[in-house]
């Protein structure tokens, strides 16, 4: 069983238990007139920095192990804001990234920066949960969802005024996502099944499937270790990035 398969199996198990005691859907289906409008990508687009970076917060990852021993999300969020980052990505997956839903609430108490909840969404219930805890954008991973699930989850997110970042790595996923009604997609340089990273993967996929991906704004994800790598991407027409480990280790 791959790491990705283990994560998904654990997520299904956790969601099954949580759904027994929490029904978010009833609340939003009956009263969805006062929902805040999405702001995640508009905020990122208005960033005046050289690179438009979604700064990721996480305690650990399957590829790196524990990254931050004394992980305090609220303090890290303030540090990121001081450094000029305009958008946050917060890992909430419990078993392999040592995240927690409570980390969102801790950050919300000290920062108003737009938040992408980085998790493995496999059930519509999680999208309602995301809105309830105050995130601005959800992540969908193409490799773990069917085309029907992706379309359904996007529709639910739009109803709740949530932005959506759809991510993929494998080029076989292109056929699944090329006609989606989305503005932004993420191309992950890291293969979630093998955890191997190729820093040029995003550019290669964009160039190979230029016609299929031409309608999307692309966010390059994972593996960046230097500003030179970011400059290379920017000179090739990609200026949006999702970066975690290098920021956490202060390599960028």
Task: Collect all residues with Cβ–Cβ distance below 8 Å to 183 and sequence separation of at least 6.
Answer: 41, 216, 217
Round to whole Å and give the CA distance between 41 and 62: 27
Query: Could you give the residue numbers annotated as active site?
Result: 56, 58, 118, 167, 188, 221-222
- Token pair, residue 21, equals 């005691």
Helix (H, G, I), strand (E, B) or coil at 141: strand
Per the DSSP assignment, residues forming a β-bridge with 140 are 166
Q: What angle do CA 132, 139, 43 make, to 5 degrees?
A: 80
Q: How many CB atoms lie within 10 A of CB 194?
A: 12
Round to whole Å and give the CA distance between 221 and 130: 21
- Token pair, residue 49, equals 């920095």
Round to whole Å and give the CA distance between 57 and 64: 14
């Amino acid at each position: 069983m791959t790491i990705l398969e283990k994560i998904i199996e654990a997520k299904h198990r956790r969601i099954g238990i949580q759904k027994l005691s929490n029904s978010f859907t009833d609340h939003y289906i009956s009263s969805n007139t006062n929902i805040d409008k999405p702001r995640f990508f508009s905020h990122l687009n208005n960033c005046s920095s050289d690179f438009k970076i979604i700064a990721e917060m996480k305690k650990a990852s399957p590829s790196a192990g524990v990254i931050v021993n004394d992980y305090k999300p609220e303090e890290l969020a303030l540090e990121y804001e001081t450094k000029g980052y305009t958008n946050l990505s917060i890992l909430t997956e419990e078993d392999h990234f040592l995240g927690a839903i409570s980390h969102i609430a801790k950050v919300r108490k000290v920062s108003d920066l737009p938040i992408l909840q980085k998790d493995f969404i496999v059930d519509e219930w999680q999208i309602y949960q995301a809105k309830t805890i105050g995130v601005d954008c959800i992540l969908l991973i193409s490799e773990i969802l069917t085309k029907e699930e992706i379309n359904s989850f996007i529709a639910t997110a739009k109803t709740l005024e949530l932005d959506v970042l759809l991510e993929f790595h494998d080029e076989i996923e292109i056929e699944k996502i090329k006609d989606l009604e989305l503005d932004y997609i993420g191309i992950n340089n890291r293969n979630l099944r093998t955890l191997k990273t190729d820093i040029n993967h995003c550019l290669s996929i964009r160039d190979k499937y230029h016609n299929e991906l031409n309608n999307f704004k692309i966010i390059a994800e994972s593996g960046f270790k230097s500003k030179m790598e970011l400059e290379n991407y920017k000179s090739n027409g990609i200026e949006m990035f999702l970066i975690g480990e290098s920021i956490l280790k202060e390599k960028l």
